[in-house]
């Protein structure tokens, strides 16, 4: 059990997402950085889809109401447990009464606080993710507030090893283009409807992530993209990662809380394997897009899976090693 | 695990004068023991003439990191004060990072190894000057 003691807004309970409900008009939700969530669960020996707290604003503070093992993954910044430094992507045993503080990130933008066994909230439509628009799922269907108390599914003293960490996905799966964080993109249905200059500029230019970016979508800023002719299309199904270009020519990337349909032309889609990179790209930072084929998009998913398997294998080995006292 | 790997392990054992090794991984359990009159202890033995100097040693094999891969600053520098239990270095084994914590409070008088060095079990990483 933990209690939120900071007043910072917009932290939510998230898991791998609510898949299979788009047909009912229910969006996907889920962690913006799925790799950070997966690694946090591996560090704690949690079930694969266990829920965690996604933290987009800092400082963030919680008090442990009882002993509980925890891991902090995702954005790296100054973190402390009762004043003692906590390293990024690290698992620790917290004791009753201890306070965990997460400071402003120096890399990445969203941190994940994972608890042993996962955050214990009831699943709705097969997921514990918070559906903000529908006001259900997660913790009472809303963002966390000061004084909220959340239970871990497996509190107490950890039976598995604690006090170790892993190499972050941003290091193990680094992807940059001219020193700028990059994401791979598949061209989508209306790609050819934009003039060649715009298409070329999309791949060659830096794109700034504007302040109007959140779990619903990211608004980008760059050279406006120009269609060959005005495009009018009916609303159709869209998924997280879809890059739409509204009339102003500044692209919008749909993210985890996107509504399930829209009518803007679709220029491309950030591949599923790289959505976590976007989830960690801070407001005001610049990103680049790399043209990618369908087989390459699948290979990228394999790369992510291999990284997670290797982390899981090493943690299993560490679990078997004789425990060391201090 | 191949016979060649087991032979290599045995060679390493004899080279560093260890009495044996026990290795466990999924599906494999290996125990190697050398015939020795007495097994050399690899616990730290600190020189009695410098009672206030303590070596901080590794508790495993791996690559020594003096800073975290996500953080530019070193975990600890020479002349810095350390608390008991504070992380002074990391051992990297593949994607895994294991902490090296200071056994006592004191001052780091010397950092003996470089960032990125490959280290074995029980190697001295730093000299710690204990306050008493």
Give pLDDT tens digits for A275-322: 999 999 999 999 999 999 999 999 999 999 999 999 999 999 998 876
Distance CA B73, CA B80 (A): 13
The pLDDT, as a whole number, for residue B4 is 82
The pLDDT, as a whole number, for residue B108 is 94
All structural domains of chain A: 2-170 (no CATH), 176-292 (2.40.100.10)
Span B47-56, mean pLDDT? 70
CATH 2.40.50.100-classified regions of chain B: 48-130
> Residue A31 — pLDDT band, cuts 50, 70, 90?
very high
Mean pLDDT over all residues of chain B? 83
B101: nearest CA partner in chain A: A326
Angle between helices A34-44 and A294-320 (to 10 degrees): 20
The pLDDT, as a whole number, for residue A326 is 41
> Residue B10 — pLDDT band, cuts 50, 70, 90?
confident
Mutate to test the interface with A, among B95, B97, B104 (most CBs of A within 10 A): B95
Mean pLDDT over all residues of chain A? 95
pTM reported for the whole predicted model: 0.89
* CATH T-level assignment (fold) for domain B48-130: OB fold (Dihydrolipoamide Acetyltransferase, E2P) (2.40.50)
Distance CA A90, CA A84 (A): 13
Mutate to test the interface with A, among B20, B70, B76, B80 (most CBs of A within 10 A): B70
Query: Are A128 and A13 spatial neighbours (Cβ–Cβ below 8 Å)?
Result: yes
- How many CA atoms are closer than 13 Å to the CA of B55, on its beta-carbon side? 16
Q: Is the pLDDT of residue B39 over 50?
A: no
Beta bridge partners of B69: none
**A285: buried, middle or exposed (CB in 10 Å: 19+, 13-18, 0-12)?**
middle
> Residue A325 — pLDDT band, cuts 50, 70, 90?
very low
Write the CA distances from A60 to A32, A76, A105, A201, A297, integer angstroms: 18, 13, 11, 39, 35
Q: Which residues of B touch A (CB under 8 A)?
A: 24-26, 59, 68-71, 85-87, 90, 92-99, 101, 103
**B47: buried, middle or exposed (CB in 10 Å: 19+, 13-18, 0-12)?**
exposed
> Residue B131 — pLDDT band, cuts 50, 70, 90?
low
The pLDDT, as a whole number, for residue A285 is 97
Q: For residue A55, how far is the Cα from the chain centroid?
A: 10
Distance CA A182, CA A208 (A): 12
Span A206-215, mean pLDDT? 96
| Inter-chain residue contact B26 with A310, CB threshold 8 Å | no
The pLDDT, as a whole number, for residue B132 is 60
Residue-wise pLDDT for A34-55, tens only, equals 999 999 999 999 999 999 999 9
What is the CB neighbour count within 10 angstroms for residue A64? 23
Span A242-255, mean pLDDT? 96
Query: Are A94 and A53 spatial neighbours (Cβ–Cβ below 8 Å)?
Result: no
Residues 6+ apart with CB under 8 A from A319: A45, A160, A161
**Residue numbers in A near B70 (CB within 8 A):** 76, 88-89, 106-107, 168, 170-171
- ipTM score for this prediction: 0.91
């Amino acid at each position: 059990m933990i209690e939120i003691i900071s007043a910072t807004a917009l932290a939510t309970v998230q898991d791998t997402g609510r898949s299979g409900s788009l047909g009912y008009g229910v969006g996907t939700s889920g962690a913006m950085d799925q790799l950070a969530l997966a690694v946090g669960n591996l560090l704690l020996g949690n079930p694969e889809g266990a829920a965690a707290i996604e933290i987009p604003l800092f400082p963030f503070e919680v008090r442990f109401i009882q002993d509980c093992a925890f891991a902090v993954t995702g954005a790296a910044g100054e973190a402390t447990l009762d004043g003692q430094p906590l390293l990024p992507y690290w698992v620790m045993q917290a004791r009753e009464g201890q306070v965990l503080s997460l400071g402003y990130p120096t890399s990445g933008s969203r941190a994940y606080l994972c608890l042993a066994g996962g955050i214990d909230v009831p699943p709705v439509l097969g997921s514990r993710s918070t559906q903000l628009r529908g006001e259900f799922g997660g913790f009472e269907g809303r963002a966390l507030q000061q004084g909220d108390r959340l239970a871990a599914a497996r509190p107490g003293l950890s039976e598995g090893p604690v006090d170790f960490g892993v190499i972050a996905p941003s290091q193990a799966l680094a992807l940059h283009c001219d020193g700028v964080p990059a994401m791979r993109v598949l061209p989508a249905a209306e790609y050819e409807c934009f003039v060649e200059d715009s298409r070329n500029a999309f791949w060659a230019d830096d794109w700034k992530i504007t302040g109007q970016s959140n779990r619903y979508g990211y608004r980008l800023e760059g050279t406006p993209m120009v269609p060959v002719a005005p495009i009018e299309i009916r609303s159709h199904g869209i998924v997280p990662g879809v890059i739409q270009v509204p009339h102003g020519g500044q692209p919008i990337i749909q993210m985890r809380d996107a509504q399930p349909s829209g009518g803007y032309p679709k220029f491309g889609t950030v591949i599923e394997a790289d959505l976590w990179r976007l989830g960690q790209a801070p407001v005001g930072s610049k990103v680049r897009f790399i043209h990618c084929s369908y087989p390459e998009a699948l290979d990228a998913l394999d790369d992510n899976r291999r990284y997670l398997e290797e982390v899981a294998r090493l943690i299993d080995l560490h679990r078997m090693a004789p425990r060391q006292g201090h | 695990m191949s016979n060649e790997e087991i032979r290599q392990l045995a060679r390493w054992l004899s080279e560093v004068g260890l009495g044996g090794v026990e290795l466990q991984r999924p599906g494999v359990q290996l125990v190697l023991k050398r015939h020795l009159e007495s097994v050399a202890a690899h616990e730290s033995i600190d020189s009695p003439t410098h009672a206030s100097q303590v070596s901080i040693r590794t508790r495993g094999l791996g690559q020594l990191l003096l800073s975290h891969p996500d953080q530019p600053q070193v975990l600890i520098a020479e002349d810095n004060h350390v608390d008991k239990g504070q992380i002074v270095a990391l051992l990297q084994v593949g994607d895994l990072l294991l902490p090296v914590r200071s056994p006592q409070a004191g001052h780091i008088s010397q950092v003996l190894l470089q960032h990125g060095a490959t280290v074995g079990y029980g190697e001295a990483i730093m000299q710690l000057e204990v306050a008493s």
